[in-house]
Amino acid sequence: MSIIFSKYSNSKKEIASELSLIFMYLVIFCFVASGNAFGNSYVVDSLEDTDDNGAYIEDNSTNTLRKCIRLANDNAGSDTITFNISGIINAVSPPLEITDSGTIIDASSQWSGIWPNGTPGVTLNGNINMVTNGFVIQSACDCAISGLFITYFRDSGISIVDGSQNNIIGGASTGSRNVISGNNFGVFIAGINTNNNHVKGNYIGTNATGTSALGNADTGVCIDGGAQGNVIV
């Protein structure tokens, strides 16, 4: 009996060892297949609205917002874009399209003034080049845009369309408020299954300090085309 038990015990150990190896290989495969399971972080260090189509190299003054968004779109997983520079980005066409779920654009580090007063330190301005749209979140979920002054776009400052869900524009934490004014539509949310997006804590239709009206030509926030369950607070 002792010999049989010993063989059985060794067999169980071998099976357990093999299962552990299989599990480890599966974890490695999933990590590699996803590109980066934990996402990447990009820091905007240029106010130009260009993209050199190159790789991300930290602190080399070519990391524009447009370039960082392109890199985030190309990398599956949740990516974060922050800023180490303040000022005005004079937007060009096409719009800044966010197509990868989990993309976070956070300019709160550049907030000017003492929260909750003060103003965004980064402005996205569509006036100089008469650009149609600022940001477009297209078929992407769980994205966020915060801490920006988005102004003078001929159509929308921010569009959330084509089934994009659970995105957050603004927020309550320090520096997360957007100012969205001077556009045709401030925020435009439209399309079947474009649901459960949150626009919160922003100044919409005011000047940067929220002390006077600047307006949006048509509507501050427009919800259309079958979008449901979206929250404006």
Low-confidence ranges of the chain (pLDDT < 50): 1-9, 15-16, 19, 22-36
Widest CA span in the chain: 90
Which among 145, 143, 153, 149 has a CA at the least distance from the CA of 113?
149
> What pLDDT shows up at residue 13?
52
Phi and psi for 25 in degrees, rounded to 5? -65, -40
> What pLDDT shows up at residue 17?
54
> What pLDDT shows up at residue 129?
92
Report whether 134 contacts 153 (CB < 8 A): yes
Establish whether the linkage from the previous residue to 95 is cis, with ω within 30° of 0: no
